[in-house]
Amino acid sequence: MQVAFTPAEIAGFVAAERAAGTTARTIRDIASLKTAQPGDLSFLGNPKYRADVAATRASLILVPLDHVGEPQADQQFLYVKNPSAALARLCARIEQQLWPKPAPGIHPTAAVAPGARVAPSATVGPLCVVEEGAEIGEGSHLQASVFVGRDARIGAGCWIMPGCVIAAACELRDRVRLQPGVIVGSDGFGYEFVNGRHEKVPQIGLVVIEEDVEIGANSTIDRARFSRTVIGEGTKIDNLVQVGHNVIIGKHCILCAQVGISGSTTLEDYVILGGQAGIGGHITLGKGTKAGGQTGIAADTPPGSYLNGTPALPYMAERRLQILHQKLPDLFKRVEYLEQRLEKTSASAQ
Amino acid sequence: MQVAFTPAEIAGFVAAERAAGTTARTIRDIASLKTAQPGDLSFLGNPKYRADVAATRASLILVPLDHVGEPQADQQFLYVKNPSAALARLCARIEQQLWPKPAPGIHPTAAVAPGARVAPSATVGPLCVVEEGAEIGEGSHLQASVFVGRDARIGAGCWIMPGCVIAAACELRDRVRLQPGVIVGSDGFGYEFVNGRHEKVPQIGLVVIEEDVEIGANSTIDRARFSRTVIGEGTKIDNLVQVGHNVIIGKHCILCAQVGISGSTTLEDYVILGGQAGIGGHITLGKGTKAGGQTGIAADTPPGSYLNGTPALPYMAERRLQILHQKLPDLFKRVEYLEQRLEKTSASAQ
Amino acid sequence: MQVAFTPAEIAGFVAAERAAGTTARTIRDIASLKTAQPGDLSFLGNPKYRADVAATRASLILVPLDHVGEPQADQQFLYVKNPSAALARLCARIEQQLWPKPAPGIHPTAAVAPGARVAPSATVGPLCVVEEGAEIGEGSHLQASVFVGRDARIGAGCWIMPGCVIAAACELRDRVRLQPGVIVGSDGFGYEFVNGRHEKVPQIGLVVIEEDVEIGANSTIDRARFSRTVIGEGTKIDNLVQVGHNVIIGKHCILCAQVGISGSTTLEDYVILGGQAGIGGHITLGKGTKAGGQTGIAADTPPGSYLNGTPALPYMAERRLQILHQKLPDLFKRVEYLEQRLEKTSASAQ
């Protein structure tokens, strides 16, 4: 963030009801009360941090209307109804500055095929490639060095960041956001073993990414063998995630970084997978299934499951096993002691 | 897949011996018998799904010559010797449409150094970079935004998809296929710890990728410290896989997504590694070693090993330990009971 | 490596004190004594391999001054004070040939915004994009197809390899080296769950990468929600590593391939993480913490910790538990035997 706002400008952005104190500082950053430096804005979002306000070095602080206390020298309080909401409003304002809406049009260095259809309000940035038959919807933005293959379709209001690849025939619906380096429509991993060699099975299906999906940097979504790989509406995928061919991901799921999902698996709606979780092929995770980081799941899960470990078990069972596992040294000693006692007991009984 | 074929066209592609029923639909997709919709083609590849034919909504169905049953209204059967083989033939036909063979030549937006040698039948797509001394072989296709470094050599019949990087001096033999975003020839991860700092060890070896290798999207293959990192003939590598410096991978291996192989390790021929498996450095996996997903291997394995778990154990031993692990709560109870019984027994014996 | 040196040229590079024997070969590669072929250079870096010198097929061998023995036919020894140091000097020489220092200037195919500041001694290679307000420092090299976003700052002496993305407002200090495909400044993964949907939390902080950091191919470093994600001076990161938003990594850390670090976690200086290790969010790993491959850490660690396993335990404790775990079949048998004995004992005692 490279911002420079006066306290008065910020008071305007957040619709402050009143102020206390003054600061001559230009505000250049946002930080928590504890880590803020002069020139930073901070905020009291949670009443339990109230005591931190008196000690903070922030120059400008968003506080609730009922906040009790006085600013320090060269420090200003801005009183707002809801400091967290006010901060979100400010961040949205800064976001516009970081990522200004570009002017529509096609950059002269982009290579757009004559048969591609780019909506008048769309922006095709420098060094993008848009192949024959591809469509770019209204208001969508290909930032730079984006590849859109033959007959691929990008809906309206999408934002495709630098270095993304949307391969032939794949479809992004409206308001999809791809972080840099995302690959959509790489071939599924399918071979048949014939005479000691792996012969490629053609991968001729496509990928459909529904509305309001976001996908993280350098993640990869394979096209289907045939039919479709689907990422459901509102699902959010983090960085370096692998989604195999013919996977069907439901709506509003969360996949944390480095998750891998093998081919032909289905995630129902609202599934949440922790980082580095690995999901086997040809299974179904029921609605709302949750799994911890590094979990390995190889079988269907009922709706609402909460799993952990490899192989995955219900969270509480896995937690209990972990605790018992750590008591193994003691258990071995107890058994040894029993063996000795039994030896003696039976000796004395004879 | 964006296809539109008439049933008669498809009957020709698959060399149908006869037909039954008729449909007015244009065929636009392929699906399994259970999931097919009107306008889809389906197929009876495995006799055990015979009952699904009567219920399918597919408009066109490939059935074996001896199939018994009648098509529904607006539905056609095409009788073929081997429905799976017929489907493969059709898919190959569709693949040509998805990925048409491009005309040879260098796109005007590509930056090809004067001293690079591009074969007359090769295609260098838009916004590619080919540096001094690099060679691109007959019929090879750099699709778009591909980087080929100094003195790198690409053999004949290769297909390098958008965003791939083949760094200086690396070599791809014939018919290598790189999915989008593959990095070949990044530096190996080697440092010496000197006076509290990690000093870089120069990585001046190269990568050799032998014939008929395929590498998945965003995978990374490090160059050797010196000498070579090698991917053997016919090996297939999935997405987001890491291959460290001086790794030697044999012929016809399979590495599933997100596998990581540490430096200087050797995989003999026909090794198969499940997703997210991690292999330590400076070890050898014997011919035909198989490992399940998320397995961690830190020591040599004999030929034909089948391993699972971290640390890796023979599959059946690991499976048995998993089962016993899950019986720990019971075991703790049994030991506690023994302790109580022994207490009583010895008390009564006194 | 595509080298071709005469033995006399190499004798000069390594400052050999004297030679023995002669070879007519041109030297084209470097290999260990055991694997070397005619035309290769090898070296006796460790006295324990002395016996391998007599059997090696290398044409040219770096040996210490006190080495006893005679070269074979068509083989030359070069006597140097320290063969390992001499090899490093030679490798540095070869590295210059592999990666020649490019001439300063902006390639005509690069898209550099009028308001960007590129130092006169910097090199902006083909098909790079440098946006408004961005700065490229003295002697830095953007190799090809690199994206530098608005107001991003690249220090002096950096080397940014093909396909890297440095997003808006992010900062690389001096001598940072990014392997191909690195993403710096992708959005952090932050959403609030509102009315059944995940609403995006704006990610408006930045990334600061300090001096002498190296980052491996296709790794991803997320920008902070606000404030900074920091990679400390001298830290080295391998391929396909994920660093979440607001992570603070100390100085001189080592992160092996496919490591993942969740948001808002702090690594103090000199932390070393093995491949595929996963670190939870909002925790602190104390100075010098080491973790083995695939370790999962979910809690703070004291300085100097050495951890292994998931959930992570001190290395020796984890190792002991692994051994006991593998003795579970025996333990179950022992308990069963105790049960039978106790049955008998108590029966006989009655």
pLDDT per position as a tens digit, C189-219: 999 888 999 999 889 999 999 999 999 999 9
The pLDDT tens digits of the residues spanning C226-248 come to 889 999 999 999 999 999 999 99
Average pLDDT over residues B115-143: 98
Residue B350 has pLDDT above 90, yes or no: no
Q: Give the pairing of strands A177-178 and A214-215.
A: parallel
Residue C185 has pLDDT above 70, yes or no: yes
C275 touches chain B (CB under 8 A): yes
Give C112's strand partners.
Answer: C130
> For the CA atoms of chain A, what is the radius of gyration?
28
Cross-chain CB nearest to B321 (options C92, C326, C335): C326
Average pLDDT over all residues of chain A: 94
**How many A/B residue pairs have CB atoms within 8 Å?**
181
| Dihedral sign (CA C237, C238, C239, C241) | negative
The pLDDT tens digits of the residues spanning A137-154 come to 999 999 999 999 999 999
Average pLDDT over all residues of chain B: 94
B156 touches chain A (CB under 8 A): no
What confidence score (pLDDT) does residue B1 get? Answer: 47
Burial pattern B166-177, b for ≥16 Cβ within 10 A else e, equals bbbbbbbbbbbb
Q: Which amino acid is at C49?
A: Y
- Eight-state DSSP code of residue B104: S
Locate the chain A residue with the closest alpha carbon to B92. A202
Provide, as residue numbers in chain C, all residues whose Cβ is less than 8 Å from the Cβ of B151. Answer: 2
What confidence score (pLDDT) does residue A309 get? Answer: 94
CA distance C153 to chain B (A): 24
Average pLDDT over residues A67-86: 94
Query: What is the torsion angle, in degrees rounded to the nearest 10, for the CA atoms of residue B243, residue B247, residue B251 and residue B255?
Result: -30
Provide the CA B163 distance to its chain's centre, in angstroms.
Answer: 18
CA distance A194 to chain C (A): 33
Question: Are the beta carbons of A122 and A136 closer than 8 angstroms?
Answer: yes
Interchain contact, B205 vs C91, CB within 8 Å: no
C222 touches chain A (CB under 8 A): yes
Average pLDDT over residues A315-326: 95
Question: Are the beta carbons of B237 and B214 closer than 8 angstroms?
Answer: yes
What confidence score (pLDDT) does residue C2 get? Answer: 58
Q: How far apart are CA A156 and CA A136, in angstroms?
A: 7
CA dist A317 → A305, A312, C34 (Å): 12, 10, 52
Question: Are the beta carbons of A207 and A188 closer than 8 angstroms?
Answer: no
Active-site residue, B245 included: yes
Quick one: C302 exposed, middle or buried, by C-beta within 10 A (0-12, 13-18, 19+)?
A: exposed
Cross-chain CB nearest to C183 (options A144, A180, A275): A180
CATH number for the region C7-98 comes to: 3.40.1390.10
Work out the percent of chain B whose per-residue pLDDT is above 70: 98
Q: How far apart are CA A161 and CA A125, in angstroms?
A: 10
Residue B346 has pLDDT above 80, yes or no: no
Provide, as residue numbers in chain B, all residues whose Cβ is less than 8 Å from the Cβ of A163. Answer: 163, 181
B71 touches chain C (CB under 8 A): no
- Eight-state DSSP code of residue C215: E
What confidence score (pLDDT) does residue A45 get? Answer: 87
Q: Which CATH architecture has domain A106-317?
A: 3 Solenoid (2.160)
Where do the domains of chain A lie?
Answer: 7-98, 106-317, 318-349
The pLDDT tens digits of the residues spanning B192-244 come to 888 999 999 889 999 999 999 999 999 999 999 988 999 999 999 999 999 99
What confidence score (pLDDT) does residue A131 get? Answer: 97
Q: How far apart are CA C158 and CA C153, in angstroms?
A: 11
Cross-chain CB nearest to C234 (options B111, B198, B206): B198
Locate the chain A residue with the closest alpha carbon to C318. A326
- Eight-state DSSP code of residue B269: T
What confidence score (pLDDT) does residue C281 get? Answer: 96
Locate the chain B residue with the closest alpha carbon to A348. B349
What confidence score (pLDDT) does residue A2 get? Answer: 59
Question: Are the beta carbons of C11 and C40 closer than 8 angstroms?
Answer: no
Q: Is A292 left (phi over 0), alpha (psi -120 to 50) or beta?
A: beta
What confidence score (pLDDT) does residue C99 get? Answer: 80
Q: How far apart are CA C80 and CA C76, in angstroms?
A: 13
For chain C, which chains pass the contact test of at least 3 CB pairs under 8 Å? A, B
A272 touches chain C (CB under 8 A): no
B333 touches chain C (CB under 8 A): no
C204 touches chain A (CB under 8 A): yes
Residue C1 has pLDDT above 80, yes or no: no
Name the class of domain C109-317.
mainly beta
pTM of the predicted model as reported, rounded to 2 decimal places? 0.93
CB contact set of C187 (below 8 Å; sequence gap of 6+): A179, A214, A216, C203, C222, C223, C245
Provide, as residue numbers in chain C, all residues whose Cβ is less than 8 Å from the Cβ of A238. Answer: 189, 242
Locate the chain C residue with the closest alpha carbon to A344. C345
Query: Considering only residues 27 to 46 of chain C, which have any Cβ-Cβ distance to chain A shorter than 8 Å?
Result: none
CA dist A17 → A13, A24, A64, A76 (Å): 12, 20, 10, 13
Query: Considering only residues 223 to 262 of chain B, which have any Cβ-Cβ distance to chain A shorter than 8 Å?
Result: 234, 236, 238-240, 252, 254, 256-258
Average pLDDT over residues B146-169: 97
The pLDDT tens digits of the residues spanning B320-341 come to 999 999 999 999 999 999 999 8
Average pLDDT over residues C340-344: 85
Interchain contact, C217 vs B186, CB within 8 Å: yes
Burial pattern C48-77, b for ≥16 Cβ within 10 A else e, equals eeeebbeebbbbbbbbbeebeeebbeebbb
Question: Are the beta carbons of B290 and B298 closer than 8 angstroms?
Answer: no
Locate the chain B residue with the closest alpha carbon to C128. B127
Query: Considering only residues 81 to 120 of chain A, which have any Cβ-Cβ distance to chain C shorter than 8 Å?
Result: 88, 91-92, 94-95, 98-100, 107, 109
Work out the percent of chain C whose per-residue pLDDT is above 90: 85
Residue C4 pLDDT class (50, 70, 90 cuts): confident
The better pLDDT of the pair A288, B101 is held by A288
